[in-house]
């Protein structure tokens, strides 16, 4: 029996036996002779109360605070900056006053700040191409470099293997590589080995490409990402003749410290810990009010409302506000890696909330059972039940939804790697909303779910209050339910039918998203 199975069996055995001893039932609450039934009733009562009282309007005041902090701190709240430190202090103080056990979890990072990112085609047809520097890229010299483009032929592993680079064809040139087949770090490494002086990676789906090389030692040559349309156009031009470009990518990288904020209820069984998290840091380019002030504010508001109920949950509830997610999930990774095996086994589940108020939103639920059949596969045992818990709640409120892959690009990643059942919601980043989604959710087809993703305009005006409210309800329902009753996580879950939606050209497929925080292709 694996560790996950043992954890879930222990949860099932202890939920019915221990929960009544830890509940703070009001005198008016009638107790039955069935502990499991009592736990379910307590869970339903608390979840209804939290869903009713935790509102987007109340959570918006935290967004206003995050905006004010960014405004006073060079326009951002990035890990390793005063803006993030002030955001963490605000969250800490709110939770401390509410009565939680609160701590900082400090760790080291390589701080990144992009100083320049510009790509200009100088011949045959001069024009600028929007490019985004990959995190941990090396830098060009000030003023950039000028060279010819050399396009890597497109196949299943474009740019991933030495054989993709014809001998001598890339020496002194800038490699143009399509995304896919391997991580970005491998692509630029192989391009460098072939003699390329820089790498431009273009997306293999609609939308911009924000990526990371994964760590400060990974960068070999200056590397940035561009859209699929721009990349295909450049590749077609290069097939006709020489394409000359100028590339200027420069990035400040220096060692700093940052910290997660961890808060937990004083009561509840520690060996049945219910954990929820969201990342608090922004990118350096903007205040990060949707990404991820929205998840952070929603989580904070539910935590504060839980404290006001004066409930003593049967299970310990732990909330986390991660730092350095934008640098590659570093905060969540540091936290999980710092746990002992026993401490990891104590965590019954993890729910993640990242970008829950995208202005042109779709309602995504992480695909715990892999019913969509796309990408990374199912989450650890129990993840399917977490997905069902969320979709059942959304269905009860007549909110449409669809699955999204566990692609490892938000803070659930380290928990999944540790075998902890995981789930959560997301409302879209730079991916493009389809016509079918526009009919399903409203909004505008053909543009990004969040056109201000990783930009200066990700401010208070970039919040969809309807999406914000829906997902705060999801958080509130989950906290209320799992604080008292974990039985649904242990029950077998029927595999959901994949939500198929029409794509361009009359095809069908499941929807995924691109966050670009981890070194995946």
Q: Which residues are catalytic?
A: 325
Contact (CB, 8 A) for 512 and 374: yes
> How would you label 420-447 residue by residue, b for 16+ Cβ within 10 Å and e otherwise?
bbbbbbbbbbbbbbbebbbebbebeeee
ω into 124 cis (within 30 of 0): yes
Q: 191: helix, coil or strand? A: helix
Give CA–CA dist 327/284, Å, rounded.
11
Minimal CA–CA distance to 149: which of 75, 32, 238, 212?
238
- Which residues make beta-bridge pairs with 162? none
Sequence length of the chain is: 521
ω into 105 cis (within 30 of 0): no
Minimal CA–CA distance to 347: which of 419, 272, 416?
272
Q: What are phi and psi of 74, to 5 degrees?
A: 65, 25
Instruction: Report the 10 Å Cβ neighbour count for 37.
Output: 13
Query: What is the 8-class DSSP label of residue 3?
Result: H
**DSSP codes, 78-94:** BTTSHHHHHHHHHHHHH
Side-chain-side CA neighbours of 240 within 13 Å: the count stands at 10
Matching residue, tokens 């103080």: 93
Give CA–CA dist 162/36, Å, rounded.
60
Residue 397 structure tokens: 């409120």
Matching residue, tokens 């202890």: 14
121 Cβ contact partners less than 8 Å away, ≥ 6 residues apart: 127, 128, 129, 234, 243, 244, 245
- Which residues make beta-bridge pairs with 215? none
**DSSP codes, 10-52:** HHHHHHHHHHHHH----TTSPP-S-HHHHHHHHHHHHHHHHHH
Contact (CB, 8 A) for 382 and 8: yes
- Which residues make beta-bridge pairs with 41? none
Give CA–CA dist 258/323, Å, rounded.
7
User: How buried is residue 178: exposed, middle or buried, by Cβ count under 10 Å (0-12/13-18/19+)?
Assistant: buried
Residue 431 structure tokens: 């991916």
């Amino acid at each position: 029996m694996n560790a996950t199975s043992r954890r879930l069996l222990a949860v099932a055995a202890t939920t019915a036996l221990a929960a009544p001893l830890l509940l703070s039932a009001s005198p008016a609450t009638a107790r039955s002779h069935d502990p499991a039934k009592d736990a379910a009733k307590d869970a339903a009562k608390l979840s209804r109360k939290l869903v009713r009282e935790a509102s987007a309007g109340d959570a918006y005041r935290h967004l206003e605070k995050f905006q004010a902090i960014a405004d006073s701190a060079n326009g951002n709240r990035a890990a390793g900056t005063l803006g993030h430190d002030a955001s963490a202090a605000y969250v800490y103080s709110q939770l401390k006053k509410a009565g939680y056990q609160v701590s900082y979890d400090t760790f080291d990072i390589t701080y990144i700040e992009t100083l320049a990112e510009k790509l200009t085609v100088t011949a045959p047809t001069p024009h600028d191409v929007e490019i985004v520097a990959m995190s941990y890229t090396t830098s060009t010299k000030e003023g950039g470099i000028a060279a010819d483009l050399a396009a890597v032929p497109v196949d299943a592993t474009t740019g991933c293997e030495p054989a993709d680079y014809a001998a001598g064809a890339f020496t002194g040139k800038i490699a143009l590589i399509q995304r896919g087949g391997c991580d970005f770090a491998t692509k630029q490494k192989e391009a460098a080995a072939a003699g390329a002086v820089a790498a431009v990676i273009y997306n293999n789906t609609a939308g911009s490409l924000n990526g990371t090389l994964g760590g400060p030692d990974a960068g070999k040559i200056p590397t940035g990402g561009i859209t699929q349309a721009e990349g295909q156009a450049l590749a077609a031009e290069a097939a006709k003749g020489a394409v000359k470009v100028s590339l200027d990518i420069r990035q400040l990288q220096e060692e700093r410290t940052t910290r997660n904020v961890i808060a937990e209820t004083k009561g509840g069984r520690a060996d049945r810990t219910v954990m929820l998290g969201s990342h608090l840091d922004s990118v350096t380019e903007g205040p990060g009010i949707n990404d991820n002030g929205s998840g952070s504010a929603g989580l904070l508001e539910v935590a504060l409302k839980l404290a006001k109920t004066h409930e003593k949950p049967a299970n310990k509830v732990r909330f986390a506000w991660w730092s350095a997610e934008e640098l590659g999930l570093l905060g969540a990774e540091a936290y999980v890696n710092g746990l002992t095996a026993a401490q990891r086994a104590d965590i019954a589940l993890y729910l993640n909330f990242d970008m829950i108020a995208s202005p042109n939103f779709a309602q995504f639920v992480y695909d715990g059972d892999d019913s969509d059949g796309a990408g990374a596969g199912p989450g650890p045992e129990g993840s399917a039940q977490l997905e069902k818990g969320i979709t059942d709640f959304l269905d009860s409120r007549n909110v449409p939804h669809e699955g999204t892959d566990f692609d490892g690009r938000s803070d659930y990643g380290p928990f999944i790697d540790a075998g902890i059942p995981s789930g959560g919601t997301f409302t879209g980043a730079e991916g493009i909303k389809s016509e079918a989604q526009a009919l399903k959710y409203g909004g505008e087809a053909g543009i990004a779910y969040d056109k201000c993703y990783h930009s200066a305009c990700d401010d208070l005006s970039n919040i969809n209050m309807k999406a914000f409210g829906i997902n705060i309800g999801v958080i509130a329902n989950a906290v209320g339910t799992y604080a008292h009753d974990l039985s649904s996580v242990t029950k077998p879950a029927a595999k959901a039918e994949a939500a198929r939606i029409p794509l361009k050209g009359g095809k069908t497929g499941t929807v995924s998203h691109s966050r670009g925080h981890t070194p995946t292709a």
